[in-house]
Amino acid sequence: MSNPSETELIHMFKGIPFTTRSSLELLKSLDTFDAREDDVLLGSYPKSGTHWLAGVITKLYNTPITLTSPIEFGDVSKLEELNKLSSKRIIPTHLDYNMLPSNFKNKNCKMIYISRNPKDTAVSMYHYYRENPHLPTVDTWTAFFDLFLEGDVVCGSWFDHFLSWEEHKNDKNILFLFYEDMKKDLPKIVKEISVFLDIDISDDDIQDICKKSSFSEMKNNTEKENSDPSHTVCALTSNRKLIFRKGTVGDWKNHFTPKQNLKFEEIFNEKMKLSKMAKRLTYEF
């Protein structure tokens, strides 16, 4: 069977590449989405720890909640499907801030945005591209590295995505998290999330959630879970084995050449020169 052509896998919407698993009709009708005031939105660029974060958040609730697949994943019937849910909705998305359904903003829904240092994100995404039949074929790291820096990958430029959310860093309804902080001190982050979501939780419960939310624990559980395509936090695949790879911090050092690192730093410094949040991105402990 021949590989599907690039054009069958990717299409552009408002200048940003999406996989065709996000239908154009759905993307165009997002603004008609009826957000609810108690919706919680999980925003991220792909491969930044969304699935891990979602796993932690769902463990915080004692009441019925539904973790949906990303709002932009599927066809136009998606919005109707979300509408039918009677329980509280936790909705992931890889959309940049400007593309979010306006209803989320008008209703001041709580949003949590997680970011990860872009060097590790690029490496993680490269492996993802290589193993995911729903994404264009990428032969080498060198080729992917250039695509990533140009924003010629699914969800567009990492820099633009991060900056679109950072513009709202002072909004009361948005909590910014860093993947590296979760790796370093998960109990502290879980506490921060529970305070933000107004969930009363004991320190013992926090310890328990952290135990159940270790990367290896969640990787094993995810791979055991059913592979119902709608049961995914990732807008790029429904293959659960692809969701967790290494989860390490600093894996970029096994891929970047010194020359690539220099080029990356140069572009990073230029694009992020006005960013306060970028200074908080750590590359290793």
* HSE-CB for 111 with a 13 A CA cutoff: 27
Find out whether 120 and 249 touch, Cβ atoms under 8 Å.
yes
Residue of 94, 127, 161, 255 with catalytic role: 94
Count of CB atoms situated within 10 Å of the CB of 211: 10
Is 255 marked active-site? no
Using DSSP bridges, classify how beta strands 88-93 and 65-67 pair: parallel, antiparallel or unpaired: parallel
Q: How far is CA 79 from the centre of its chain?
A: 20
Residues annotated as catalytic (active site), given as ranges: 94
